[in-house]
A and B are shown apart, each in its own frame.
Chain A
Amino acid sequence: MDVEAAIEDLKNRTLAAIPGEFARLVYLASTRDYNTGQYYHAGLAFQFTEEVARAALAACHQESFSRLLLTPLEELVKELDRYVHLTGTRPAEFFEAWKKVEPYRVTVPLDCDQLSAEFFFSNVRTALAISQTRQETGRDNRQCA
């Protein structure tokens, strides 16, 4: 029951303010300690308990990941474009970094199965390539004009 309340609280107060599913996924993954896999959120833990906060973060992370996993590629490209815009990074820099470092790999929930993870990585790689090509084509067209 507490976990349900914590999930609602997290969705209404924090996640609702983050535009785009990709940004929400990155945010939720970042609340996790990479060494232990445990989630931590000071405000939520203060309001509920650490254990409840952890469970709520894990549930929302899983939900966000599942939503993106089942998103058609066309929508995923739009989500990615939205996220690039939100970060304020120069698109060329963003694509370079994401292709080299592959930070999207750490956005996968801990108990995710191999097939889902591989499918997600593959889709993000394709979305990145399409988005980058569109950016470059747009830039070239602007330069020609």
Chain B
Amino acid sequence: MSELLIFVVVGLVLVLLLLWMQRSAEITARKKELPETRETLSTLQLQLPSRALVDRIFALADWDFVSSQAPARLQRAFLQERRAVALLWVRQTRMKVGRLMDFHLRAVRRNVALSPAVEIMLAIHYILFLLISELLLGLIWLRGPFCARKMVGYAASVGEDLAFTFGSLLARLDPVHLGRMKADWLRRSAAS
């Protein structure tokens, strides 16, 4: 019985891995649609901070410059400032991704025929993103923004993948219907 359970679990993991790989390949293939996707998310005020901004916030070059040019007092002040901005990025990105998920659950899922594989992948990406962002908050708070750069890159990629998937689902909707959904969402956002 226990052997059967192990086989089932291993099989499930393999299936999930395959779906993940397939999804990643699809995302890469459809990156060309990104400008439209971004525009749609932007009108819904759901766009994530740009990658260029994220790279700048966590750029080691700034720390190298400050540590070589400024006295210790300024170095401490700079690290404190940059830590606050880095934490703000994590919180805002998490909030935006949470709102994307909320929008998906409230509006899109009722209107787009989604395959279970897509739903599973979205859920996995979302849970993964939440875990990484929690880890990042702790890491940045404890060790500063410049010690978390690899994880930041990973979190930004997962966030972008999620945003891309949500944006692609939106792009598949009928424009008239999408317009109604946008108006409804923006009205609800303004009220809350």
Q: Which residues of A contact B (CB under 8 A)?
A: 69-70, 72-74, 113-116, 118-119, 122, 125-126, 129-130, 133-134
Contacts and interface: CB of A to CB of B under 8 A. Distances in A.
B77 interface: yes
A47 B81 CA distance: 44
Contact of B78 (A74, A119, A126): A126
10 contacts: A70-B56, A113-B92, A114-B88, A114-B92, A116-B53, A118-B84, A126-B78, A130-B66, A130-B69, A130-B70
B82 to A, nearest CB: 7
B59 A72 contact: yes
B65 A119 contact: no
Nearest to B68: A74
A133 B49 contact: no
A113 B45 CA distance: 10
B70 A69 contact: no
A125 B53 contact: no
Nearest to A125: B81
Interface residues of B, number: 23
Contacts of B88: 114-115, 118
Contacts of A118: 84-85, 88
B81 A122 contact: yes
Interface of B: 49, 52-53, 56-57, 59, 61-62, 65-66, 69-71, 74, 77-78, 81-82, 84-85, 88-89, 92
**Interface SS of chain A:** helix
Select the residue from A69, A125, A129, A134 with max chain B CB neighbours within 10 A. A129
A72 B61 contact: yes
Contacts of A74: 61-62, 65, 69
A122 B85 contact: yes
Contacts of A119: 53, 56-57, 85
Contacts of A72: 56, 59, 61-62, 65
Contact of B85 (A70, A115, A129): A115
Given A115-B85, A118-B88, A119-B53, A126 B59 contact: no
Contacts of A69: 53, 56
A73 B65 contact: yes
A81 to B, nearest CB: 13
Nearest to A132: B74
A129 B81 CA distance: 12
B72 to A, nearest CB: 12
Contacts of B66: 73, 126, 130
A70 B61 CA distance: 12
